[in-house]
Amino acid sequence: MRLTLKIEDHAGNILAQSDGADSVSLVYGSAYRGGDKIVLESDRQEAFLTVRLEDTMPPALVYMGGCRHEMLIPFEEKRVCYSPKSFTGNIHLLTARLAPAQAVQAYKNLAYNPYDCHENKILFPCSRANVETRGESVFASRNAIDGICENRGHGPWPYQSWGINRNPEAEMRIAFGRHVVVDKAVLTTRADFPHDSYWVSGTLEFSDGSRLAFPLTKTEQPQTVTFSPRAAEWVILKKLIKADDESPFPALSQIEIWGVER
């Protein structure tokens, strides 16, 4: 398997490139500039990879459902949902490698991808929501699958969350890019009380057509929902019912969907 990592500028000019067989690393010895993007390419249409596209962030096991993934380097408002150390400085180390079979087959959180972003189309899991508060990066759906569960505040990192802009019809879809078998969800709702409200119930809708309603409560702790195993290509979190309290601001810090490969 051939893997390639690149840094390209806004015009598509290649600023740095590295290639490898089953594993690749790239050292980029310059500061990022506006319009720069990280490009990951594979000579396979489908592959399980362990990627680390920013050296201040943890690696992630992802499913690449295509040959080219692009991630625009975040700047200004788009950067505040990341650590202030991320994407800064004059030297950067990026890595990608074929994921080991035992890691692929393991029971794990199939929703985890800190490298998800709005332009992501093929690096799964991938999140999409029908609303994100004011379009701000600190309230984007990708924040709910980045692995950071800190929920005792709101706003810039580490308190980024999925904000629903007070919309009672808010929904978030997590796509896996292939069929997996899932049996558990863990939700960490934002708990910056009394600023925050909370949900008393929600519903999971699965790509097989099944739905599961579940209760939620006011807590800082993760809340676990277990269910009979089912094959799913995607899961939608929906029908989030707000508590009858004074705050209009329920939000989600993290959602985990646990399961195995089909």
Q: Stretch 31-40: mean pLDDT, rounded?
A: 98
The pLDDT of residue 156:
98
DSSP per residue, the chain: -EEEEEEE-TT--EEEEEEEESEEEEEE-S---TT-EEEEEESSSSEEEEEESSTTS--EEEEE-SSEEEEEPP-GGGGTTS-TTTT-SS-EEEEEEEPPHHHHHS-EETT--TT--TT-SSEESEEEES--GGG-GGG-GGGGGSS----SS-SSTTS--EE-TT-TT--EEEEEEEEEEEEEEEEEE---TTT---EEEEEEEETTS-EEEEE--S-SS-EEEEEEEEEEEEEEEEEEEEPSSS----EEEEEEEEEEE-
Mean pLDDT taken over the chain: 98
The pLDDT of residue 2:
97
pLDDT digit string, tens, across residues 175-210: 999 999 999 999 999 999 999 999 999 999 999 999
pLDDT digit string, tens, across residues 138-177: 999 999 999 999 999 999 999 999 999 999 999 999 999 9
Q: Which CATH class is domain 123-261?
A: mainly beta
pLDDT digit string, tens, across residues 215-253: 999 999 999 999 999 999 999 999 999 999 999 999 999
The pLDDT of residue 262:
92
Domain ranges in the chain? Answer: 2-106, 123-261
pLDDT digit string, tens, across residues 5-29: 999 999 999 999 999 999 999 999 9
pLDDT digit string, tens, across residues 86-139: 999 999 999 999 999 999 999 999 999 999 999 999 999 999 999 999 999 999
